[in-house]
Amino acid sequence: MRTIDITTNVGCSVRCAFCPQDKLLPAYRDRGGTRQMTFAAFREMLRKIPPDTALDFSGMAEPWLNPDCTEMLLHAHERGYEVAAFTTTIGMDEADVARIQSIPFRRFVVHLPDTERYSKIEMSDAYLQILANIVGSGIPNREFMTMGTLPREVAAVIGRRIKRTRMMSRAGNLTNVRAPERLAGPIRCRSCGDSLDHNMLLPNGDVILCCMDYGLRHVLGNLLVSDYRELFESESFKRVQAGLDDDSFDILCRYCENAASLDEYERPEKKRRFGNLRSLLKSFMPAADENRPRP
């Protein structure tokens, strides 16, 4: 499903070790524009996004650092969009938790603190209360994740074991995580193949290729000045799409953990088709046995 990630705010006080803000901030500053998405701008841009597009409130900063985040989510839901949220809960209050319970989230993922301090989430009494409210809420499809060892105080609130998530280099944008080798030959994105329609909307209206593009290498267009369709007609988009097959184009995807060789990408589909063929053949076998002449 085509998706747009919403970055409500550029600049994040959580300062996670796995989020290359040092690449994003200067690149965004060079392009200019507001660092916080206004509700008016969000509403204007939403009118241009097809209703069968999923909206993920995640982006390149904690969504609730923007005080209008809850209003944006509610407005998107009222307009019929399928929504998900990925949050540390920083910036959220108890009223926010109560208000968003009416939203049928596709996913609601809470990023928890860790004792290693990969994420700089302060475990205040207010934070633990918000967490407890989420645990006890009716928010659907809740998930919890952490990048390290879960603190005891948080584990007591969550009440279950949380599997550690592996850190990635963000397509080579982080220096503290080993980046994958550059992929050669035809490649595809594991998330969106060659359609490249899982993109990122920034507060100034710019739409970039994806959540890995912290250096803003591939800006497809701007939803404040153009429509959604034009993003995929831009020279920037065409260059990236061509670069999936032609590795002389040095696109970000070639350094990304979410990329795969064309053969690897197509292998599950080939396996599925082969499995369907086997099932089809097996469905005829009983009939063949019944019609076989008996000695």
Q: What is the pLDDT of residues 182-227, one digit of tens each?
A: 999 999 999 999 999 999 999 999 999 999 999 999 999 999 999 9
Contact between 97 and 137 under an 8 Å Cβ cutoff? The reply is yes
As beta bridge partners, residue 207 has 201, 221
* Residues 131, 108: Cα–Cα separation, whole Å: 13
* Residues 99, 144: Cα–Cα separation, whole Å: 20
Of 88, 167, 169, 162, which is closest to residue 127 (Cα–Cα)?
88
Domain ranges of the chain: 3-255, 266-291
3-state secondary structure of 184: coil
Rounding to the nearest 10 degrees, give the CA dihedral for residues 51, 53, 58, 60: -110
The confidence score (pLDDT) of residue 291 equals 45
Q: What is the pLDDT of residues 62-107, one digit of tens each?
A: 999 999 999 999 999 999 999 999 999 999 999 999 999 999 999 9
- At 161, the pLDDT band (50, 70, 90 cuts) reads confident
The confidence score (pLDDT) of residue 268 equals 78
Is pLDDT of 292 > 90? no
pTM of the shown model: 0.89
Contact between 21 and 11 under an 8 Å Cβ cutoff? The reply is yes
Q: 238: Cβ–Cβ under 8 A, 6 or more apart, which residues?
A: none
Is pLDDT of 116 > 50? yes
Average per-residue pLDDT in the chain?
92
Of 259, 273, 249, which is closest to residue 194 (Cα–Cα)?
259
- At 254, the pLDDT band (50, 70, 90 cuts) reads very high
- Percent of the chain's residues with pLDDT above 90: 81
Q: Domain 3-255 adopts which CATH fold? A: TIM Barrel (3.20.20)
